[in-house]
Amino acid sequence: MIVQKGFTPWYKRFGEQYGEQTTIVDISDKTLFSLASPGDESTTAFYDMIMGILDLGRAAKFYYMESSDQLKIIDIHLFLADNVRFELMHRLEWVEKISYEKFSLLEMVQSCDKIRKQNKWKVPILSKSHHDYALYNALVGGDKEAFIRLMLPDAISAFKERLKA
């Protein structure tokens, strides 16, 4: 029932089936691009899925919820959006494999905090084959994370071009 509540809006939106075992790796390129693109459309898609899995209704109800529930949904949304964008970068071969791959979307929503803590969730490492690897490798600590995050708009643009090809 939870799977149906969480993924029916995605089936209607993207025309693809998702289930209990679906991971971010299983999402099609077209859907991944849609979810990775910033804006109301991707936010609504995430909120529909998250709120469905948590049995909180549809995204339209978000603004009428208790602030504690809103914060929980936003937190999960940001976690999922980050991982979707890092998967997009991985498919471009810009970053190395990411630790979330073994978790289903259902697990990521239901156990977001636990997954972060147990897996010491991190921003992925830039691929050695990337043309900016030497620059990245010279950075330390949080600067590496900032470097990867600053690449996100370029990655989304590059992925869009890849979809057109």
The pLDDT value given to residue 68:
94
**How far is 2 from 144, CA to CA, in rounded Å?**
38
| Residue 120: per-residue pLDDT | 63
Whole-prediction pTM value?
A: 0.92
DSSP string, 57-126: --GGGGGGS-HHHHHHHHHHHHHHHHHHHHHHHHHTTSB---GGGGSBHHHHHHTHHHHHHHHT--PPPB
Distance, CA of 46 to CA of 57 (rounded, Å): 13
Question: Encoding tokens for residue 73?
Answer: 């949904």
Q: Residue 148 in contact with residue 122, Cβ under 8 Å?
A: no
Domain map (residue ranges) of the chain: 2-164
**pLDDT (tens digit per residue) in 80-136:** 999 999 999 999 999 998 777 789 999 999 999 888 887 666 778 999 999 999 999
* Mean of pLDDT values over 43-70: 94
- Report pLDDT digits (tens) over 11-51: 999 999 999 999 999 999 999 999 999 999 999 999 999 99
